[in-house]
Structure 1
Amino acid sequence: MTVTIGETLVADVHRLDKKGNGQAVLWRESEQGSNPKKLKLTIPQTLPGETVQVIVDQPEKRRRKALPEKILKANPERVEAPCPHFELCGGCVWQHWSYEGQLKHKTGHVQEALESVGLDPSLVQDTIGMEEPWHYRNKMEFTFSPEGDLGLHEQGNFRKIIPLETCLIAGRNMVDATMEVSKWVKEHQLNGYNKDTHQGLLRHLMVRESFATGEVMLALFATESPEGDLAKAAEDLIARITANYPNVKSLLWLVNTDWADRTQSEETFVLAGRDFIYDELGGYRYRLWFDTFFQTNPVQAQKLVDLALEMGKPEKEEKMIDLFCGVGTFSLPFAARVKELAGIEIVETSIESAKRNALDNDLHNTTFLARDARRGIDEVHESWGLADLLLIDPPRSGAGGKVMRRIGRAQPKRIVYVSCNPDTFATDVAELLPFGYTLETVQPVDLFPHTVHVECVALLVLQEG
């Protein structure tokens, strides 16, 4: 067919891309009568096996994005998205997919990742899902539009904000407090930050909630301090929150004048409460500041910890390394079960938090080092010898070949790998095979329902001889 601008087309969705969007291919004829050329379409909010009607603008391009005008043949697993913001908001991509369908796809993603590097996909267990896959997040970052609307970014458009009415993946108390802040902004006619002109007051609102303790943090990021002309508005915010939201134990105003669009602070004002909240996981208490990395789904995070303990089988006379340890999410429960534990993390603030968290939980057999992974491993080995057990929980980019080969040469008996990216996980694991390791099992866990992300816990064992 010859594709013209604005023409309605019918496309068959054959797969999903890494962002969870449907992919389709149409063939177009050139005006000169040469061989047909591919038009690759990315169609959000569609599922494999569906036939959809779309309108394509700029068909002369080889790749285009188009929203479905009509679903002509639906995937049997398609459901009605419950959130009123779903079609525009970029927070969730799969609310139109049954939860069972999402879990099957995530299991398949992990299997494909292993198979791509020559590993056995049958080692992958069925993904562990949630009984209630809504209101599971204990941290959200909302953004202000230049007009002062508070919400989330529009899907595929970083500069447009969808004003918030609700959020079905955030904790309910978080949503209520967020709506109060939004109301306060409107009543005081405060403006938001314009990313193009770099003008405006309010940038972000970060909300954290401990599902264990009930404590909530509200952190407001602005380009000016809450003083002078803003003092009266700040006092009103304090009065509203302290009167109506007693669970808010940390109300912060953070100044950020940097052009970079990050939740960072040049100066922090504690408007009410303290500058951190307490959270708990598996009976261990943690202090969380605004910039502390902590698992955002506490229900499933507990399953990750339980699986890691079950696979790792820590013993009282063993020495252990927790690589990329963060604030000690895995370190503390493992430290209670081994002789000595060394946590290694390059972010110094996380290491300071890990040290404090260990003391808060009366654990005195831990050492935490602010080092890069390879240097940290060498330093630990020089101080107390080789580790029996190693846990690794790297960022989405993975640990990388150099780190994995360093681990392989260190020869820990057992390695527990906690991953948030199946593709980098598979690549990293393949690096260990020449050092005598066998991949025993891989257990995916769904920490982010209605998104493409899936976590894994895996066990590798060093073979004797």
Structure 2
Amino acid sequence: MPRVRKKEKLRAQPPLDLTIDRLSHEGRGIAQREDGKLVFVDGALPGEQVTVQVTFSNKKFDEAQVVSVQYAAADRVQPPCAHFGVCGGCSLQHMAPPAQIAFKQSVLADHLRHFGGLSPETWLAPLTHDAAVGYRRKARLGVRYVIKKEKLLVGFRERQASYLAEIDACAVMDPRLGQAVTPLRELIAGLQARDHIAQVEVAAGDRLPGHEDVALVFRHLVPLVEADRQAIIAFCASRGWQAYLQPAGYDSVHKIWPEQGPDRLAYHLAAFTPPAAPAGTGLTMAFHPNDFTQVNADINQRMISLALELLDPRPDERVLDLFCGLGNFTLPLATRAREVVGVEGVASMVERGYENARANGLGNVSFHAHDLTQDFQTQPWAGLGFDKILIDPPRSGALEVIPHLAKLGARRVVYVSCNPATLARDAGAMAEQGYVLVKAGVMDMFTHTTHVESIALFEKRR
């Protein structure tokens, strides 16, 4: 049966009344029909009695959406964003933030138990913050011009769909960005190339002297006429923002406004001051708008402090930072340790690391480019020997690195993870190498989403 006809047939079915038993790892309510078939329900919470409409069905399970809530859970709250339920950006806005973080810790515990057969000796208190909205400093906004309706859409994809949601603001994004959605849409709608702008990358830094604090990167599929280029410049110049164009791949990104000055934003790490700098100076971390940086500035600061507390670098120790990026952990570590070595697979990030080390007056840090999924035993830095190691890998994890940790000499490892499944898998592999999972916990980096950011401490005991 064609998919469209099947959806129409499901919509024609009468709604179901269900009681939600628990949440899936994706944050959907799980209920059981009278015939025993499982139903995954978007927008439902454990303990609730809901009326739902089935949107997908196969032999093993159904998927459904909440039509109405007959009995609400104590953790249900009014979503802070008017576009919740349509926009797919944040699927947990109907759940109170403390319940969200408790759910995420349960996900981490389940993964550690299932994939690694482990549980930490001590659970860390969740790392949280007060701002449940206005925290997200980086995002990729999709752009689509609907010719039949003569309407331009700017935003995120709809939930469970490939269409862009029609939004006029984003409550979760930093207000500098979230409140600019409508003006940005109006700008693009007025361009001759409005149906050839694919996306806009938005990034915000701290408001620091000598640095613009917001940048927009416009991905365009055809060359822009001069009038379009000037319109983009005027839009950004009026706000004191940087403007970039991206006519092709990543390497084609170039700044068009301001004409002078570096293509950098920056953020400040107040808690970490180089030994030779005046007290309270902190670190200033410059980055290109397309560089990877953590989206939540407050949690990033707290995460770095927690990582250093767990790792406990000493003035006489050499520390290794794997998957170091632009030095988000490397430079803070260098304010505490004798020497820090950062290794990263992207050469431009190595350059950024050195740039930031020089700007902050840190001479006890070095950066190296190497694909850490490949053997690195012959690399000169690998033979130095390390007292402690920090690992902050991508979602795919660090499985290829783990067999080498003991050879590097480190007895303490801190692992920062953006994927609890690969952290759990890697924790099992570390246990085989004699590392004990001492502490673990979650961090509220992405409030209102099902994304689980976590941190774990391992110690070598055999």
Q: TM-score, normalised by structure 2?
A: 0.87
CA deviation string 1:77-132 (max 9, x = no partner): 11111211101011101110111111211222222222333323562223121112
Contact 2:168–2:181 under 8 Å retained in 1: no
Look up the SS of the partner of 1:457 in the other structure.
strand
1:183 and 2:186 correspond = yes
The separation in 2 between residues aligned to 1:88 and 1:219, in whole angstroms, is: 25
Over residues 202-241 of structure 1, what are the superposed CA-to-partner deviations in whole Å (9 max), with x where a residue is unaligned? 0111111113536111111111233xxx211221232233
| Correspondences of 1:149-160 after superposition (within 5 Å) | 149-158=153-162, 160=163
Matched letter for residue 210 of structure 1: G
The structural deviation recorded for 1:383 is 6.4
Give the 5 Å matches for 1:347-386.
Answer: 347-373=346-372, 377-379=376-378, 384-386=383-385
* One of 167, 170, 187 as aligned partner of 1:167: 170
Q: Is contact 1:107–1:126 with CA below 8 Å preserved after alignment?
A: no
Deviations 1:285-322 (A, max 9, x none): 22221320011101000111101111111112211110
1:253–1:271 CA contact under 8 A, matched in 2: no
SS of the equivalent of 1:378 reads coil
Which structure has the higher relative contact order (CA within 8 Å, separation 6+)?
Answer: 2
Give SS of 2:194's match.
Answer: coil
Paired position in structure 2 for 1:204: 199
Go from structure 1 to structure 2 and tell me whether the alpha carbon gap of 1:187 and 1:310 turns closer, same or farther (over 3 Å shift): same
Q: One-letter code of the match for 1:279?
A: Y
Matched, 1:397 2:390: no
Query: 2:100 is matched with which residue?
Result: 102
Q: Give the equivalent residue in structure 1 for 2:268.
A: 280
- Counterpart of 2:4 in structure 1 is none
2:443 to 423, 432, 445: 445
How far does the alpha carbon of each residue in 1:367-414 deviate from its partner, in whole angstroms, 9 at most, with x for none?
2111122657524566652111111011122111x3212213433121
Code of the aligned partner of 1:293: F
Picking from 232, 239, 255, the partner of 2:247 is 255
- Secondary structure of the residue that 2:298 maps to in structure 1? helix
Q: Tell me, in whole angstroms, the C-alpha distance in 2 between the residues paired with 1:108 and 1:461.
A: 23
Out of 178-187 and 289-298, give the one that drifted further. 178-187
**CA deviation after TM superposition for structure 1 residue 5, in Å:** 5.3
Q: Are 2:21 and 1:14 aligned? A: yes
Task: Give the direction of change, closer, same or farther, for the CA distance of 1:459–1:451 in structure 2 (3 Å limit).
Answer: same
Counterpart of 1:119 in structure 2: which amino acid? Answer: L
Q: Distance in 2 between matches of 1:58 and 1:375?
A: 42
Q: CA deviation at 1:66?
A: 1.8
> What's the CA shift for 1:60?
5.8
Q: Where in structure 2 are the equivalents of 1:117-156 lying within 5 Å?
A: 117-121=116-120, 123-147=122-146, 148-156=152-160
2 CA distance for matches of 1:109 and 1:365? 39
How far apart, in 2, do the equivalents of 1:188 and 1:58 lie? 39
How many angstroms apart in 1 are the aligned matches of 2:395 and 2:247?
Answer: 29
Q: Tell me if structure 2 keeps the 8 A contact 1:388–1:412.
A: yes
Partner residue in 2 for 1:92: 90
Distance 1:342 1:56 in 2: 53
Q: Secondary structure at the match of 1:275?
A: coil
Task: Measure the CA separation in 2 of the matches of 1:361 and 1:387.
Answer: 24
Match of 1:234 in 2: 229
Q: In structure 2, the residue corresponding to 1:145 is in which secondary structure?
A: strand
Compared CA separation, residues 379 and 339, structure 1 to 2 (3 A): farther
TM-score by length of 1: 0.86
Give how far 1:58 is off: 6.3
3-state SS in 1 of match to 2:111: helix
C-alpha contact (below 8 Å) 1:104/1:126 kept by paired residues: no
Q: Which amino acid aligns with 1:155?
A: R
- Aligned residue for 1:399, secondary structure, equals coil
Structure 1 CA distance for aligned equivalents of residues 351 and 443 of structure 2:
29
Question: Using the alignment, how far apart are the partners of 1:429 and 1:383 within structure 2?
Answer: 22
Q: Who is 2:254 aligned against?
A: 268
Asked if the contact 2:56–2:64 (Cα under 8 Å) also holds between the matched residues in 1, the reply is: no
Q: Distance in 1 between matches of 2:12 and 2:342?
A: 58
Measure, in 1, the Cα distance between the counterparts of 2:365 and 2:57.
60
* Alpha carbons of structure 1 residues 231 and 98: separation in structure 2 relative to 1, 3 Å: same
Distance 1:20 1:398 in 2: 22
- In the aligned structure 2, how far is the partner of 1:291 from the partner of 1:238? 18
| Bigger mean CA deviation after superposition, 109-118 or 162-171 | 109-118
Share of identical aligned residues, percent?
27
Shift in Å, 1:457: 2.2
Q: AA paired with 2:335?
A: A
Distance 1:60 1:240 in 2: 49
Question: How far does the alpha carbon of each residue in 1:347-378 deviate from its partner, in whole angstroms, 9 at most, with x for none?
Answer: 12212211211112111222211112265752
Matched residues in 2 for 1:103 and 1:398: separation?
22
Aligned to 1:34: none
The equivalences for 1:38-49 within 5 A come to 38-49=36-47
Deviations 1:41-77 (A, max 9, x none): 2211111122211223565654332211111222111
Residues 380/285 of structure 1: CA separation in 2 closer, same or farther (3 Å cut) = farther
Query: How large is the Cα RMSD of the aligned pairs?
Result: 2.3
- Equivalent residue runs for 1:69-88 within 5 Å: 69-88=67-86
Distance 1:231 1:338, change over 3 A: same
Tell me if structure 1 keeps the 8 A contact 2:326–2:350: yes
Distance (Å, rounded) in 2 between the aligned partners of 1:57 and 1:134: 30
Take 1:347 and 1:224, find their aligned partners in 2: how far apart are those partners? 28
Deviations 1:113-157 (A, max 9, x none): 223333235622231211121101111111111333211110111
Q: Which runs of 5+ in 2 are unaligned?
A: 1-9, 147-151, 271-281
8 A contact 1:208–1:218 mirrored in 2: yes
List aligned pairs for 1:403-418, cutoff 5 A: 403-418=401-416
Amino acid at match of 1:450: H
Counterpart AA for 1:255: P
Shift of 1:167: 0.6
Residues 44 and 60 (structure 1 numbering): CA distance in 2 closer, same or farther, change over 3 Å? Answer: closer
